Amino acid sequence: MRVATTLNRIGACAALLLLGVPTAQRADAQAWDAVKYFKYNIENVTVAPDVVAPGGGYTVRVMFSVTDPTNGGAAWDIKSAAPFQYRYPPPPETATISARLTLNIGWDPSSDFFNTGSANAALNAVQSTLPGTAAAMVVQVNNLHTAAGSQPCTAAACPGVADLTNRYWVERTVTPVPFGRATVTHGRVAIEGRPVCNGLVECAVTPNANIPVTSATADFAFHPANPQAAMVANPRRQVVDIAKCMGCHDGGPHGDTTVPRLSLHGGNRNQNLDVCVMCHNANQTDVPYRYFAADPRISGPETAVDFKTMVHSIHAGGFRETPFVVIGRGSSINDYSDVRFPSTLRNCLNCHVENGGKGSYELPLNASVLGTTTATGSVYNVPSGTMRSIDVNPANDVKTSPTAAVCSSCHDKAEVRSHMTRRGGASFSTTQSAIGVTVRERCASCHGPGKDKDVKKVHEVGRSGTSSDAHDD
């Protein structure tokens, strides 16, 4: 039976995390049976203008809890409860396994996330000798479960929170810089992380394993009518249905492939696509972990990790002409060439949704969709330990126009890319400021609904098939 590359990679990561842990302490499997005891909740978000922050920042305060659905929704004391305190080996040694609880803040979910200004409002390049700096990362607050990581709620500190028992708050000042639009209107916060299987009945089987609790998100307005209650409904249109994703990503066999569950980045980000798109945005590449190395895949050109490009590229691993390779944490080489989609690849409705008879995969794309960055202008091809310069200003990024970024993630042959540029007006080397101005994609004129080469018609969407089916160019 084929085991998907992704599954092998997750196993490898787990093994690396567990090096040096005595055999009796090891827990290579994640404790999925213990997830039922944990639910992340964002109780409220408040936003206040910060007159001190350069460029006009905002203080975003997030109130949150972790509750136990099996115990009437009682809230966990994350500062002392065993699942949040496990650390091996104990300090001062470096932890090999530990609980994690993290807050992320990103913007602007009303269109495509871009997080411009998250590194610094002046958009100055970030200088560092250490890999890890990203070009369009969220603002991150780590270790919420530690004494200094977050504060217990009081009535004054946590407006709008009815029950203060084991509720906590944390805040950060952020200065969102507009990109491709006049202003930044919305943000999103996410709670993600992993307790460790300790002190629970299920932990007798998987002691100290990561518990992949489903991540939680909430959207907020930067200019709320009521700054004490800034949370708003998700402004993004629904593109895919995660229930469809989990129909394959269930940890079980599908044909000759075993598909891993959606537990990623060390069991920290789990089964919530609203979290994924915050970091896997249109301005993000795998530049954080690239440097000059003997393996040219590590020192080579950046790879886009924009969600709309990355997910199609991974699923089409066996269909693409060019291997899709992403450099990950620790400069791991993640080659998706042997991934085989365990269903009919051409059928967009395997993942996408329909609304009012129109599929979210159909053209034209919304005008607010950003081009996909393929080169940030960073200086990263330097020996390990020497100074890197990560460019965080997306205005000078080399981008692929939006429709081409999606379609070429599967249809990557040179002649098809040429068709996209010659007939479709697309570009694989442009800037965001040119998209919609001098670069005008007209793919929908042939591939839009009801047209001769309608995506739905060409892909035979909705027709049954087998995992060996491939769509034609």
Distances, alpha carbon 428 to alpha carbons 326, 340, 392, 433, in Å: 19, 26, 20, 14
- Asked if residue 471 has pLDDT above 60, the reply is no
Concatenated DSSP letters for 358-392? EETTPSSPPTTPPPEEEE---B--S-TTS-EEE--
Average pLDDT in the 301-312 region?
97
CA 231, CA 234: separation in Å to the nearest integer? 9
Average pLDDT in the 422-449 region?
97
What is the band of 226 on the pLDDT scale with cuts at 50, 70, 90? confident
Q: Outline where DSSP puts E strands in 118-260.
A: 126-128, 139-141, 151-152, 168-174, 186-194, 216-221, 231-232, 253-254, 257-258
Q: Whole-prediction pTM value?
A: 0.90
Our CA angle for 31, 253, 214, nearest 5°, is 35
Q: Are 423 and 411 in contact (CB under 8 A)?
A: no
What residues does each domain of the chain span? 2-232, 287-458
**Taking the CB of residue 289, how many other CB atoms lie within 10 A of it?**
19
Q: Are 370 and 283 in contact (CB under 8 A)?
A: yes
pLDDT for 389-402, tens place per residue? 999 999 999 999 99
pLDDT for 69-104, tens place per residue? 999 999 999 999 999 987 776 667 766 668 999 999
The whole-number pLDDT of residue 55 equals 63
- DSSP bridge pairs for 305: none
Least confident segment among 16-30, 282-296, 369-383, 414-428: 16-30
pLDDT for 110-147, tens place per residue? 878 999 999 999 999 999 999 999 999 999 999 999 99
